[in-house]
Structure formats: structure tokens, C-alpha cells
Amino acid sequence: MPTLLLNKNTVKELLDMSEVIEAVEQAFRDWVEGRGRMPPKSYILLEKGDFRAMPAALPGAVGIKWVSVHPQNPSRGLPTVMATLVINDPDTGYPLAIMDGTDITAYRTGATAAVASRYLARKGSRSLGIIGAGRQAYTQIEAHVKLFDLREIRAFDLSKASVERLIKAFPGYPVEESSLEKAAGSDIVCTVTPARWPFVKREWIAPGVHINAIGADAPGKEELEPSVLNGAVVVVDDLEQSRTSGEINVPVSKGLFSMKEVYGTLGEIISGRKPGRRDDKAITVFDSTGVAIEDIAVAQVIYEKAKHRGGCPSMNLIE
Amino acid sequence: MPTLLLNKNTVKELLDMSEVIEAVEQAFRDWVEGRGRMPPKSYILLEKGDFRAMPAALPGAVGIKWVSVHPQNPSRGLPTVMATLVINDPDTGYPLAIMDGTDITAYRTGATAAVASRYLARKGSRSLGIIGAGRQAYTQIEAHVKLFDLREIRAFDLSKASVERLIKAFPGYPVEESSLEKAAGSDIVCTVTPARWPFVKREWIAPGVHINAIGADAPGKEELEPSVLNGAVVVVDDLEQSRTSGEINVPVSKGLFSMKEVYGTLGEIISGRKPGRRDDKAITVFDSTGVAIEDIAVAQVIYEKAKHRGGCPSMNLIE
């Protein structure tokens, strides 16, 4: 029985944002309803970077993402984040596929934010603010245009060149360069920066705005003034991860925000255990740290597509 | 930069027991002296089997073993245990090699037991008792014959056919069928069964014997009467894993053995922090649960050999 080997190009070809959105939404539903398994991420911190082991199981799927983050890589011509995914048969353990996980990570992050927007943003949202025009900005736009009829996509970055690249990548979409303040004034705001200080000011955020806070994914990182969180409907992907490494980690550690103020998890909202947005004037915030069920759900879709398409390289790993 | 793909056959060809013994011994030394990293194993328990994520780093090496255990597999023509290993560049995270980890697991388990015997068995040990003639028996013998001048290898199993296969696999070695009692009366005893009851009796164990207790690797499993442990020099590979899932887990949970009675870890003994055997009359027990540093150390050796030999299949996973 051969194990499929799917490199970055093959995975990219097989990724379809609409399918990814449905897969991550179902993964959160399965998880909160007890049909998934996800032990905590484990970390190995080394001198030049770190490694994270992210195993998870969902109905009919089990696997692991092994992902590394090395900030000095770009100077060596390598991406900062690299990931390898293994998908196994839950009934036998057989490794069904080994695939590059870099684009899966970017797609599932964009898709999860868009799913959060689906439940938390106002129905008639027409403008999207993208703060930070790096790698993650692309999939935020790709995912949100699937679910919203956007008239304006306002992109801000400290690097003008990054904004120009982003605009060029979306011909036919209303992406435009924006000030930070104007981007933060959009109906839906996605913060996708590596910031370690709360540069998004409370005064810029209008009533009714939904914010996807994506950038903070490690202790000490934050993007929003803590006062944005106070009084907002704050939804997290994983309570423990958000507390220790998400957008809320610094405010919680400083006593400026309490875990009791968290409204709920994305899974609870998707499954209907807690209602999503009920008030057009509320500010909603989704604190995304990234969880393994998202990766395994998407990798399983890619594996099934690769198997049915045929012609992918494979090897007999076990025999 | 291509990622090497090493299937079971290639890994088997490159495995050399003497090299594996040196690699695992060095890994324990590195770990106890603070040069390694190893988060706890994480488990996913599913209906028909379980999965374990085992990441670790050592000087110049980092990676993960993703291993599954499915007891019903043999009826489907598949091995119970299957493992996939990924080895990365610590400085960039790049996946250097993906390899089958099944034989690496068996070799490193045999090698680690033999290293324990090197420090804990009497110098003049001449007889080896093998209790359980399954897969793990082979590498126990292979590793011990590298370090001891054995005159008798006494194999016991409930299945006569298994013992006969084992004897046939070692022509030129003094492997013979034995009673359980006689095997347990050897200078060095390796218990490699899936038992869940303490079938090795205290009265069979002579003064001066060293026991490698390998089989118990999950809560509820044990092979030795708890009275074997009381008064013995008990050495573990990992304190926490042994407490929860090693040979000592049942006696500890029943209050028949206390963690305070553990003499130390294999790493402490290898590094000289604690002396090994000092008394020819002492009974010594090594409680082996299996730790990721063993796998990563061996996988790194296999990767280096495959790279230098050349000609192995590879793929551009990332590009």
C-alpha cells in the first residue's frame, strides 16, 4: 500500500478556499461535539527557531502537523514557517499521505477567520481592513471574498511594496492602499502582523465592527489596545492557547482582561451552543491562535482529492 | 533542496546495531547534561488503536516520531506498530528526511536495554533470558551479543512456533528453547511480552541478576511481581513515563512501590552522576518505556548514512 507524497506545488493545486472553509467549519463543530481529539501542541525551542507538534483526530481522519518557525530563514532564501503533515488511516495507523503543510497552514488560517466573520460580523459587511500585507493577508482576502460581498478591501502595511504586491495579486478585486486608521475603520478588520505592541487604537474601532486578531500567536505578542477587548464579544479558537499565546495573553497577564470576559469558543458558536452576533452595535473579536484540527481537516480533503485525481508520486514506506 | 525518503527496506539496510547502541547511549548523556529537548509524548486514543507524537532535539538533530499501535492489525496483514519519522535541520527547520520508523523503534529499544545491561548487569554475565519471543526479542538478542560474551540465550514464549522462529533467525548463536523459570534465572533477563499481570516470580530471580523490563509501556501493564522491585536497584528511562506507564506503574498505583525507591535514570548512570552496579549480589531492574531522544538519535545516524551513500529517493517537498 503506497503512501502518497504531495509536495508544495501539488498541495497548492489541490487547495480550494471554499472547500477549506467548509472543512474547518465542520472540524470545529466535530470537535466541540466530542467527535475530535486534540492534545495540546508541544513545543521545542532551539537557538534559531522553534518546532511545534500538532496532532489531531476527526471523524475518519487522524494525523499530525510538524511545523517550524525560523525568523532568520528569509535571509537564507527559505520561508520562515515550514510544515510537514502526515495523514494516517484511523483504523490501522497506516500513513496514507505525507504532504507539505505550508500552504495548508495559510489557507486554514484565512478560512477560520472567515468562518468567524460569518458568525460574528454584521450580515451586510461591505468593507474589509487588512492590517499587515504579508503572507497571511492573501488568504484572509481569499477567504473573506467567498463569504462577503466586499466593496472595499483596505490594506495597510509599513512596507508600501508589500501593499503593492498584495494589490497586484488580486486583480478584479477592490483592494486599495489605506491608512492604518482607515483600515481599522472597516466593517471587518483582520490584523495579521508580527507586532508585539497594541498598535490598533480603541478610538478607531466603530460600533458593529468585527476583528479577526490573527497575528498574536506567542506569549508577549498583541495587536489590539486592551480596551478594544473590554466590552467586546471575545471569541477564541482554544481557551488555553489563547490565554497563553493569543491576542488576549498580554492583557490577561497584566490583569487588563480576564478569562471570564471571554464569550466562548468558535466551536460553541458554530455548533449553535452559543449564539453569534445578536447586536448590530457590538464589537466582536475573534482571537485566532491556530489549532491542529484545522490542519488535519484540510489535509484530509487534500489527501482524498489527490487519491481520486491519481498520478501523484507515492512510495511504499512500510513495505 | 530535496527531502530524502527512506522506506523500511532502506532503513533496515542502514541500521547497524553497534552504531545504534552508541547513538542511544550518547543521546541519554546529552539529555541528562542539558543538551537535549524532549516534551512529553502526546497521545490520541481512537477506537481501534492509538497514536503517539514523540518530538525531540539533540545536538545537531531535531525531529519527531509519529507512531501508531493497532493490536488488530496482524489479522489484516499489517504490523501492530507503525511509525513515521521526520528529521529536520535544527537551524532552518527544513525537513531533511522522512523515513519509516518501525525498525528504528525495535533497534533503539534493544540497544537501550543493552546499554542498561552494560551499566547494571554483572561484568561476567554469560546467560541471557528472553521472555517473549515476538518482534522485540530479536533486537534484544542482537544488541546484547554486541556487549556480552553470551554462552546461553534462553528463550521462552507461550507460542512454541515463535521460539522456533527466533532460534532459526540466529544461527551460530546459542539460542535455545527454555522454561519460563529457567529463562528468568539467567544473568540478564529481558521481559518483552504484552502481559498485564506480574507473571515473573520473585523466587525465580537469583541475586546479582539484571532485568530489562521492556513490555510494560502503558497504564495497567506489568510483567514482574512487585516484590522483585522492592529492594532492587530500579533504574528508569524517564521518571514521569515510568510512573504512569512503565513496569512500575501498577505497583506505584497500588502503593506497593514508591517513586522514592527509584534509584535513578539511565541518563544519570551513563553520565556518571550516579554509579551503576556496585554489588555483585544486587538485583537491578531497568524499566524501559521508550523515549523520543532514542528515536531521533538513531534517525539522525540513518539520515547521515543515507546522505553519504547517495542514490536514495528524494523529493522537493517545499519547492
DSSP string, A107-174: HHHHHHHHHHHHHHS-TT--EEEEE--SHHHHHHHHHHHHHS--SEEEEE-S-HHHHHHHHHHSTTS-
Say what the pLDDT of residue A319 is. 66
Set of chain B residues whose Cβ sits within 8 Å of the Cβ of A9: 319
Say what the pLDDT of residue B4 is. 96
Structurally, chain A folds into a number of domains equal to 2
ipTM score over 0.90, yes or no: yes
Say what the pLDDT of residue B7 is. 94
Residue A131 and residue A207 in one domain? yes
Residue B58 lies in a domain: yes
Mind telling me how many Å the CA of B162 is from chain A's nearest CA?
Answer: 22
pLDDT digits (tens, 9 = 90+) for B87-101: 999 999 999 999 999
Say what the pLDDT of residue B316 is. 87
Most confident of the following: A99-103, A308-312, B315-319: A99-103
Residue A114 lies in a domain: no
pLDDT digits (tens, 9 = 90+) for A161-191: 999 999 999 999 999 999 999 999 999 999 9
pLDDT at B319 over 70: no
**How confident is the model over B210-239, as a mean pLDDT?**
95
pLDDT at A45 over 80: yes
Owning domain of residue A269: 123-290
Q: Percentage of chain B surpassing pLDDT 90?
A: 93
Residue B148 and residue B267 in one domain? yes
Say what the pLDDT of residue B11 is. 97
Which residue bears the cell 461591505?
A126
Distance in angstroms (rounded) separating the CA atoms of residues A100 and B212:
40
Distance in angstroms (rounded) separating the CA atoms of residues A215 and A113:
12
Q: What is the mean pLDDT of chain B?
A: 96
What is the β-pairing status of strands A95-100 and A127-131?
unpaired
Say what the pLDDT of residue A297 is. 98
Find the CATH number of the domain harbouring B277: 3.40.50.720
**How confident is the model over B177-190, as a mean pLDDT?**
98
Residue A68 and residue A176 in one domain? no
Residue A137 and residue A282 in one domain? yes
pLDDT at B222 over 70: yes
pLDDT digits (tens, 9 = 90+) for B148-170: 999 999 999 999 999 999 999 99
pLDDT digits (tens, 9 = 90+) for A121-156: 999 999 999 999 998 999 999 999 999 999 999 999
Residue A115 lies in a domain: no
Residue B188 and residue B91 in one domain? no
Report CA torsion sign: A170, A173, A176, A178: negative
Residue B204 lies in a domain: yes
Say what the pLDDT of residue A160 is. 96
**Preferred mutation among A47, A52, A91, A104 to probe B, highest tally of B CBs within 10 A:** A91
**How confident is the model over B197-214, as a mean pLDDT?**
96
Does A86 sit within 8 Å of B84, measured CB to CB?
yes
Residue A81 and residue A138 in one domain? no
Crossing angle for the helix pair B292-309 and B17-32, to the nearest 10 degrees: 130
pLDDT digits (tens, 9 = 90+) for B274-305: 999 999 999 999 999 999 999 999 999 999 99
pLDDT at B22 over 70: yes
Residue B129 lies in a domain: yes
**Preferred mutation among B54, B68, B291, B312 to probe A, highest tally of A CBs within 10 A:** B68
Residue B109 lies in a domain: no
Cα A125 to Cα A189, A203, B249, distances in angstroms: 11, 20, 57
Residue A253 and residue A185 in one domain? yes
Q: Percentage of chain B surpassing pLDDT 70?
A: 100
Is residue B191 within 8 Å of residue B132, measured between CB atoms? yes
Residue B215 and residue B169 in one domain? yes
Does B66 sit within 8 Å of A86, measured CB to CB?
yes
Say what the pLDDT of residue B112 is. 98
Is residue B248 within 8 Å of residue B236, measured between CB atoms? yes
pLDDT at A1 over 80: no
Residue B91 and residue B200 in one domain? no
Residue B168 and residue B258 in one domain? yes
Mind telling me how many Å the CA of B92 is from chain A's nearest CA?
Answer: 6
Residue A117 lies in a domain: no
Residue B135 and residue B215 in one domain? yes
Query: Which pLDDT band, with edges at 50, 70 and 90, does A91 fall under?
Result: very high
Residue A69 and residue A184 in one domain? no
Say what the pLDDT of residue B318 is. 77
**How confident is the model over B241-260, as a mean pLDDT?**
96
Does A92 sit within 8 Å of B49, measured CB to CB?
yes
What is the β-pairing status of strands A95-100 and A81-88?
antiparallel
Residue A251 lies in a domain: yes
Does A68 sit within 8 Å of B93, measured CB to CB?
yes
pLDDT at A103 over 90: yes
